[in-house]
Amino acid sequence: MSNGRNSGITSGLLLLGLSLAIGMGVATWIASETVERVKLANQTIRVKGYAEQKVTSDQAQWQGSFIARGDNIEEAYSIFNRDQERILAFFEKQGVKAEDINLSPVNTIVQYRRTEQGYETSVIESYRLERNFKISTTDLELIASLARDSATLLQEGIEINSYTPMYFYSKLEDLKISLLGKATRNARERARQLAEGSGSTAGTLRSASQGVFQITPPYSTAVDDYGLYDTSTIEKVVKAVVTMEYSIAN
């Protein structure tokens, strides 16, 4: 009788152990499947989209300055007025319209005599008058010729400083919107290809950020964290980059 009761207890324990083992196995499988789904749900793919377009500048600007010097203020202003008239005549001869010329206020600088040791005294030695000018136009060739031919003024004894011409594209803001759309589509295609290569698919968009625009000469690889805007060339390339993050689904 005792042996039968012990045998029943042993069988019960075996059944209980087996049930617990099966239950734990099922629970583990369910838990692992849940974790896997969670992992898949949180998986993302981050890609960069790129787009560029060549443009031709439609606006140009040339800046410079001229200086007149004299031992006294009267002499300095006499030379200044004479040189200014000759400069404006040069602009008119080149074909510059009066409304395209911007002249800054005259800057008067007093030069004081210095001692042999280099210390400045209160004795006035001479005067220097300086004026900046800026010419803006849609005639790009005119700006190029002005900067090139201004050297003839130096030959006439006029102290003129010429800066490098600058070229701009006026429809840049409209172009930026178009390029962002192209860069976004490029990013989506990159995400799709990368996901399919790993046996998955790119899902919904999780996040997106716009990079800075790089406006460079053709074939340039220059990049700046704050963006570039090259003004030295007539032909330019506008480049846009976006960063997109998508979910991944099996």
Domain ranges of the chain: 1-34, 43-58+169-250, 60-168
Distance CA 27, CA 109 (A): 89
Average pLDDT score, the chain: 86
Q: Compute the average pLDDT of residues 119-128.
A: 92
Angle between helices 140-149 and 73-94 (to 10 degrees): 140
Is residue 172's pLDDT more than 60?
A: yes
Beta bridge partners of 236: 55
| % of the chain surpassing 90 pLDDT | 70
Q: Which CATH number fits domain 60-168: 3.30.230.10, 3.40.50.720, 3.30.70.2970, 3.30.360.10?
A: 3.30.70.2970
Say if residues 237 and 216 touch (Cβ distance below 8 Å): yes
Q: Which amino acid is at 141?
A: E
Distance CA 206, CA 41 (A): 12
Greater confidence, 227 or 5? Answer: 227
User: Of the ranges 6-10, 104-108, 201-205, which is most confident?
Assistant: 104-108
Q: What global pTM score does this model have?
A: 0.75
CA angle 174, 176, 177 (to 5 degrees): 70
Say if residues 165 and 62 touch (Cβ distance below 8 Å): yes
The CATH number that domain 43-58+169-250 falls under is 3.30.110.170
Residues 6+ away with beta carbon under 8 Å from 190: 47, 48, 49
Question: Which stretches within the chain are classed as H helix?
Answer: 2-42, 73-94, 140-149, 151-155, 172-197
